Each structure stands twice: as structure tokens, then as C-alpha cells.
Amino acid sequence: MTPPSPTRATEAPAEQVDGGARSGTGTFATRMFGIATLVTMGWLVAFGLGFSPADRDQEEAVRIMYVHVPTVWLAYLAFTVTAACSGLYLFTKKHSLGFDRFAGASAEIGVVFMALSLATGMLWGKLTWGVYWQWDARLTTTALLFVSYVGYLAVRGLGGSHDQRAKRSAIIGLLAVLEIPLVHWSVRLWRSLHQEATVLNTNGDVDMDGLMLFSLFVGVVAFTLLYVWLLLHRSRVMAMEDQLDDQGLDRAIDARRAEATS
């Protein structure tokens, strides 16, 4: 009688790893998302650098906003998806590793977007404030959020079984997301060098030129599509990595079993 494998089978189809019908991570859906991302990124370049006007005070530096703001919003979204998938992993009966992989992939993309937002924010700060960085409430809480998710990714890399990885990272994913409201409201709670929100504010007034607002909207759409495209590919790559890991373990057990019987 063959004993059951000690590792839980991952949900990825075998042909993804073994070179079957589908050897990559691309599907019709991801290709459509990829094309849509490229098209909207082209629009973003056209509107961000061409059609939208310069600002009365910031002049050309305002164009940094079309990358800075969408990347930070998408980082918030990515970390929220991480928390939601972490909750689904922890609190559903199946404890599906698919949720864990979505959580991890989303956090990775969120960290990249957050790094991009910090870098563009520093450039904008130098041009507008006159300094790259200052430890005010918004910048400090944002740095803390960024470091927290770098820590989340490090914890995912600690090793152990897939379930161990999923459980410990899910707990961190659920806790770290609580920092997002603190980051967003820091400019209202405390005196900050960073200005208050222009769009996602409580009074509903958007003090922004129409074409600037539209360019910002294009940026949000473009980066959202990029996020979805990256999330689908990265989560599938993670499924393949998990499956390879499981296969390696199974092979090691088989070899040890053969060694014992020989």
C-alpha cells in the first residue's frame, strides 16, 4: 500500500510544470490585460507628458503626480487584497493555498508600487518643497508601511511547509493592513508638510484642473490593469514554484524509501 504524500497537493495543473499543453503563465485573459495595459500606459504618457497643462505653482513637476498618486493608491489596493486573501485563507475551512499565493503576489506588487511612489514622491518633494525627504507624519507612516510589507515578504521566505508559510504570513498581512488608514489620515490627524488629499477627501470638492484630473484617472486605470496583469502572472508562477517544491519533496521521499528497501 502506498502511503499518502506528506505534502498537500497544490492547485496548479501539472502540465504547467511538466511542459504540457500550457507551459507558461499566459492565458487569453492575461494577454488581453497585457494589451489593455500597454494601450492605457500609452495614453498615460500622452496625457501626462503632452495634453495635461503645467501647474500654476508646481509648473512641470505636477506631471510626477500621474505616477506618484496611482502607484500609492494601487499599493493600498494591493495590500488590502493581501489582507482579504489572508483572511480567506485563515478563516475558510478549505485553507486554500491559492488565497495565500494571491496574498503573497499582491504584497510583492504592492511593495514595488510603494517603492515607486516613494521615489517619485522624493523627486516631487525636491522640486516643490525644496527637500527630498522630511520626517513628517505622512512620510513617516508611509515609510513604516513600506518596511512592514518588506518584513511580510521576508517572513514568507523563512521556509517551512506551504501551510506554515501561509499561516504566519496571513497573520502579518491582516495586521499590517491596519496601517493604511493611519497613513491616509495622517495629514488630517497631525500637522504635516504633505498636503491633504485632493481627490479622496471628506468634503467632496476636487480642487484640480479638469485635464489634470482626467490624466490622473488614466494613470489609475493604467496602473490598475498593470496590477491585475502582474497579479495573475505572479500568482501562477508561485503555484508552479510550490508544485516544484512538492515534487522535489516527493522525489526525495521516494529515493529514501528506495534506499531503505534496497
Residue 188 near residue 196 (C-beta atoms within 8 A) = yes
Nearer to another protein, 18 or 196 (CB): 196
Which residue from 155, 159, 136 is spatially nearest to 147, judged by alpha carbons?
155
CB of 21 to another protein, least distance (A): 31
253 binds another protein (CB under 8 A): yes
Distance CA 232, CA 115 (A): 21
Among 147, 171, 178, 244, binds another protein (CB under 8 A): 147
Instruction: For another protein, give the closer residue by CB, 42 or 53.
Output: 53
Regarding 132 and contact with another protein (CB under 8 A), the answer is no
Q: Which of 112, 208, 221, 240 binds another protein (CB under 8 A)?
A: 208
In this chain, which stretch among 19-27, 42-50, 74-82, 122-130 interacts with another protein, using CB under 8 A? 122-130
Span 156-195, contacts to another protein by CB under 8 A = 156-161, 190-193, 195
Q: How far is the CB of 127 from another protein (least distance, A)?
A: 7
Task: Give the contact letters, 57-96, x = binds to another protein (CB under 8 A), - = no.
Answer: xxx--x--x-------------------------------
Query: Residue 55 — φ and ψ, nearest 5°?
Result: -90, 150
C-alpha cell at 89: 485563507
Report how many residues bind another protein under the rule CB under 8 A.
Answer: 58
Which residue of 127, 180, 221, 240 would you call a contact of another protein, by CB under 8 A? Answer: 127
Q: Which three cell numbers stand for residue 171?
A: 497573520
Q: C-alpha distances in angstroms, 37 versus 41, 182, 204, 224?
A: 6, 31, 29, 8
- Inter-helix orientation angle 137-156/179-189, to 10°: 170
Return the number of the residue (225 or 238) whose C-beta is nearest another protein: 238
